[in-house]
Amino acid sequence: MWRSWQKSKISKWLYPGLGVKRWVILFMAGITFMGLGFAYLLKDIYESWTFPPIFYYLTLQFIDRVWRAVLFFGLGVLAIGFSLMQLARSIFSALLPSGTNDVAEALYQRRRRSRGPKVVAIGGGHGLSTLLRGLKEFTDNIVAIVTVADDGGSSGRLRRDLGVPPPGDFRNCIAALADDEALLTKLFQYRFGKGAGLDGHSLGNLLITALVEITGSFERALLESSRVLAVQGRIFPSTLDNVVLCAEVHEPETGNIGQVEGECRIPKAGGTIERVFLKPSRVRAYPGTVRAILEADIIIIGPGSLFTSIMPNLLVEDIVKAIRVSKALKIYVCNIATQRGETDGFTLQDHIEALERHTGKGLFDIVLANDNLDCEIPSAEPVRPVCKNSEYKIITADLVDRESPWRHDPHKLAKTIMNIYQTYRKSS
């Protein structure tokens, strides 16, 4: 068993694309040339010097010369191979995440992810961070596009007091894409529960805000925060303009259409959301966002709060134009469940029609929805399962997180998306 385990460990260093074999061969060639040079020297010494009788046994002259050569060559190969393995383990164990025992497998997986498809994920809130947490298992080429319309909680306070874009959703994305979600990531997500001026603030929000002051730009602050946590991918704002999300809400008691300003106020309005829009209406898309969309292999819209997380990104005109022009596979991921104050009573078709009212038809190629409706959602949660009542061609799969059945499971969601992409790529 031990030998088979060792064999499997060593064979992983021969995986294609690992970038190891060529250097091992060159190293062995160098050792061979050194050995030949040393052999010539020993031959000259052996022929010109007289040695004590004990050297007859030390040099194994009682064994045929051919078998002596095979024996010494084999011992040399074993010594070199073992030393290389241990040297590589010592080096890579310092570079790879803590708890990684199989260095070759970890290196192979990192190379595989670096060659993964270019994915652009558009959204915000918990839905986007859940998606990112799953995607980073399959590719490092991830760009998360995040709304800057958030005006509630810690992010809203920092936005109003210091004039910075709301950092909350960006912080969640950075934590989700972190290479190792350990103590440093937990520290980044820590939220103060008391203290004058600190109550409700997240340490990550404060760190990003401080970096904005130090670096002089929000983009640079995101980059430096990402470096601290060894983030796999990039996080871009949909726009850097100061925008306010507004909604036209149908009031059931009076039948009137009222206007609500502020992202955090919209779900509390108590009516049916007819339309959301930005103030000002025409804003500039962040250039890196447009470039990422045009270069993408996969564009994923959702999951997330339909009107307050996803829509604010799609209300930026240049982003929608870039999505339409892009040759990427475009997937809309519908939420597992409805959301009180936003999508009460919505079916899958209602979600799609709401998107198309704001962006027009044909923005995405595929609709991905959950088909596991057997999970029981606690009554305390203000949600209910989304029904599959749609005239659109959709792809369904079990996407439910068993522990939180109103949310997606990160691995299930990402794996399903990658399977869809592989099928799409083979057929195109």
pLDDT in tens, 158-197: 877 787 888 888 888 888 888 765 666 777 777 776 656 6
DSSP assignment of 85-140 equals: HHHHHHHHHHHSPTT---HHHHHHHHHHHHTS--EEEEE-HHHHHHHHHHHTTT-S
198-256 pLDDT tens trace: 666 778 788 888 888 888 888 888 888 888 777 888 999 999 998 999 999 988 777 78
**Cα–Cα distance measured from residue 282 to residue 277, given in angstroms and rounded to the nearest whole number:** 10
Res 115 pLDDT > 60: yes
Better-predicted residue by pLDDT, 185 or 320: 320
Per DSSP bridges, beta strands 244-250 and 272-279 are antiparallel
Q: Which residues pair with 145 in a beta bridge?
A: 122, 236
Res 12: pLDDT: 63
Report the pLDDT value the prediction gives residue 46, as an integer from 0 to 100.
73
Q: Of 158, 261, 263, which is closest to residue 218 (Cα–Cα)?
A: 158
| Range scoring the smallest mean pLDDT among 43-47, 305-309, 315-319, 389-393 | 389-393
Confidence (pLDDT) at 381: 54
More confident residue, 137 or 196: 137
Q: What is the pTM of this model?
A: 0.76
pLDDT at 155: 75
The kind and range of the H/E element at 146 are strand 142-146
Angle subtended by helix axes 125-135 and 410-427, to nearest 10: 70
Residue 17 has pLDDT above 70, yes or no: no
Say what the pLDDT of residue 28 is. Answer: 77
Q: How confident is the model at residue 103 (pLDDT cuts 50, 70, 90)?
A: low
CB 250 within 8 A of CB 201: no
Judged against a pLDDT cut of 90, whether residue 31 lies above it is answered with: no
What is the pLDDT confidence band of residue 315, given thresholds at 50, 70 and 90? very high
Tell me what pLDDT residue 8 has: 52
d(CA 204, CA 210): 10
What is the mean predicted confidence (pLDDT) over 409-413?
Answer: 95
**pLDDT value, residue 314:** 95
- Average pLDDT estimate for 305-316: 93
Mean predicted confidence (pLDDT) in 92-105: 60
Picking from 262-266, 330-334, 395-399, which range would have the lowest pLDDT averaged per residue?
262-266
Between 248 and 83, residue with greater pLDDT: 248
Supply 321's token pair.
Answer: 């134009």
Q: Which domains can be identified in the chain, with CATH numbers?
A: 117-147+238-242+285-428 (3.40.50.10680), 151-232 (no CATH), 244-279 (no CATH)
Model confidence at 107, pLDDT cuts 50, 70, 90, reads: low
Residue 180 neighbours by CB under 8 Å, 6+ apart: 97, 98, 230
Distances (CA, A) of 75 to 38, 70, 79, 80, 87: 17, 9, 6, 9, 18
Region 100-108: mean pLDDT is: 63
Phi, psi of 257 (to 5 degrees): -105, 115
The size of the chain, in residues, is 428
The answer to whether 141 and 159 are in contact (CB under 8 A) is: no
Segment of 5-19, 86-100, 210-224, 378-392 carrying the highest mean pLDDT: 210-224
Write out pLDDT tens, residues 190-199: 777 665 666 6
pLDDT of 1 > 50? The answer is no
Q: Contact, 354 vs 348, CB < 8 A?
A: no
pLDDT over threshold 60, residue 5: no
Specify the residue for token string 């595989």: 112
Contact 226, 259 (CB under 8 A): no
Mean pLDDT computed over every residue of the chain: 82
State residue 154's pLDDT score. 76
SS3 313: helix
% of residues, the chain, pLDDT over 70? 84
